[in-house]
Amino acid sequence: MLERIFSRRDEERRVRDQNRLPPGQSLTQKFPVLHYGPTPKSDLKDWDFKIFGLVEEEKVWSWEEFNRLPRQKVTMDIHCVTRWSKFDTVWEGVLLKTLVEEGLVSPKPEANFVIQHCEQGYTTNLPLTAMMHENVLMATHFDEKPLELEHGWPLRVVVGSFPDRSEEWRAYFWKGGKWLRGLEFRASDQLGFWERNGYHNEADPWREQRFSYGW
């Protein structure tokens, strides 16, 4: 027990010295499970993923079709608004940036924002410019294995920071929705579930943008 405690403290000191630990955060060696509402279960035979709104062509992909899209593996640090951070996490999935660059998704010029639509009506929102960064991944795998159900299986968005902090944009972990079913492209912003309930719309962990009401 004491060995684990001292190991965590040593690791936290290391990432703090590397300027990887945002203010107000603590390192965790676990992977806490946090979400609102019950855990949904999906039948992959009926599962589909939609690209819609302000795009040149709306798309609907089955699970098999989605898994044939170009894939990337990304190592990131993740920072939860509830004050835990987990480091050097390895994810695999699909980058919107790649889909746009390869012409598989074509946002219209007036598209400025992307709404993540998830199971049970849950949503969260990001600027299109943020969704186009390489530290925003539509992930199917974590740590070389398919996502666990409570962590968003079969598909979730992951928002993180690179270990060298080279990303141009960053946000707390809730800005990546679990159980993702579609991306809606819009001209104007539309607050998601937590954003409507007092969470900061920009959510930069390095600026501690946790809440919008001064909590």
36's tokens: 């609102």
The three-class DSSP label of residue 92 is: strand
pTM for the structure as a whole: 0.93
Closest C-alpha to 43, from 182, 193, 181, 183: 181
- pLDDT tens column, 116-143: 999 999 999 999 999 999 999 999 999 9
In this prediction, residue 2 carries a pLDDT of 43
Domains located in the chain, CATH noted: 2-207 (3.90.420.10)
**Residue 146 β-bridge partners:** 141
Q: Whole-angstrom Cα distance, residue 135 to residue 195?
A: 21
- Structure-model confidence comparison of residues 54 and 7, the more confident one: 54
Condensed to tens digits (0 to 9), the pLDDT of residues 22-72 reads: 999 999 999 988 777 788 988 999 999 999 999 999 999 999 999 999 999
Predicted pLDDT at 130: 97
How far is 156 from 138, CA to CA, in rounded Å? 6
Whole-number Å distance between alpha carbons of 175 and 193: 10
